[in-house]
Copies of this chain bind each other. A is one copy, B any other.
């Protein structure tokens, strides 16, 4: 009799986005003329950079004739893209091309990375956080059983709240795998080099691995904020880094990302042997994946051309100006707001002790504005909502006027 992976049925169904959709639909039904502005979604809105469109069309044309047609590419990504990545972002950090694994998305990579680890590892995850970290560890058998407050018996949740400025403290008990995401989704917070160094040192001392999600690094505007964990000494021994073109270059519908697995990052076998995670991930990547679409890799490569870089910079600048406007508006109505300086996300404390959903309802019904209830990112998000700077400038200005009104 065929048996399911029991862990799958432990995961509570996610109602966040369907519940948001349901409440919007009800509000619209009751107020057919309501002009609703969506500030909740983490999806980009500006079109793809011209350089990427052009590169993609050129690549599509190559597929038209035998002479330039390309079939299977290398699972780890084409050399042209891996070399561009190294040249532009990682050369100074000593990362090499065979430590780069091109993929179809950071969601896939942060989810699939669990394949190479034992179910017996102790995993630490920030609360609140991107739900994929928790859900994929549940699926992989590392979470234990669900608890009453939405937690899991075997996961270590790193508390992030106002008292620690949403910067998690080192865990009190030893952990083996640590998920860090900076600039953070959902709080928009970043770590300084000094703060990140604490984690790298912790991982080195405890022979732990850091899974560092840097999908939002392009939005960093301040000086002392590391773009890559490899800016920290010793990180190449303990950290895997996830990067993505999704938010940086408007690739959410294109699907391209990459993961950096330095050959010096080790984990241990039961017999105590040191095993290079680069070798294990290569095995996983070449066995369960067949490469990212050629035309998409050409589009990603185009982000490193002079025009591409300029166009990407303009996208980021636009969204960060949105973030500045939203931040100012939220502050002017005396909401406590975090993030939005090195991140497209703003994390606002709900006023008057409202919970996430109450404030969501208030904004929807009174202002026709949609945000994301913080509780959707874990119990640590209760009492907060997330605003996103992805959106049309005019609509953002209209929304901020409504907020202030």
Contacts and interface: CB of A to CB of B under 8 A. Distances in A.
Interface stretch (A157-165, A292-300, A355-363): A292-300
B46 A69 contact: yes
A283 B70 CA distance: 33
B252 A72 contact: yes
Interface stretch (A25-33, A221-229, A265-273): A265-273
B139 A284 contact: yes
A267 B6 contact: no
A57 interface: yes
A16 to B, nearest CB: 12
Nearest to A140: B115
A135 interface: yes
Given A3-B268, A288-B108, A295-B56, A116 B46 contact: no
Given A2-B208, A206-B1, A288-B136, A253 B70 contact: yes
Contact of A66 (B45, B177, B267, B269): B45
A275 B69 CA distance: 44
A253 B69 CA distance: 9
A108 B75 CA distance: 11
B46 A136 contact: no
A176 interface: yes
Given A53-B60, A64-B48, A71-B252, A290 B107 contact: yes
Contact of A5 (B63, B115, B139, B288): B115
Interface in A114-171: 115-121, 132, 135-136, 139
Given A255-B291, A255-B292, A294-B253, A3 B66 contact: no
A287 B177 contact: no
Nearest to A141: B119
Given A71-B43, A139-B115, A288-B107, A3 B296 contact: no
A121 B208 CA distance: 32
A50 interface: yes
Q: Which 10 A-B pairs rank lowest in CB-CB distance, beginning with the nearest?
A: A111-B288, A3-B118, A71-B252, A43-B71, A48-B63, A2-B176, A47-B69, A253-B294, A107-B290, A70-B253
Given A4-B268, A46-B66, 16 more contacts: A1-B268, A3-B270, A5-B119, A9-B275, A9-B280, A47-B66, A48-B63, A72-B253, A104-B290, A108-B290, A111-B287, A132-B287, A252-B290, A253-B291, A255-B291, A296-B296
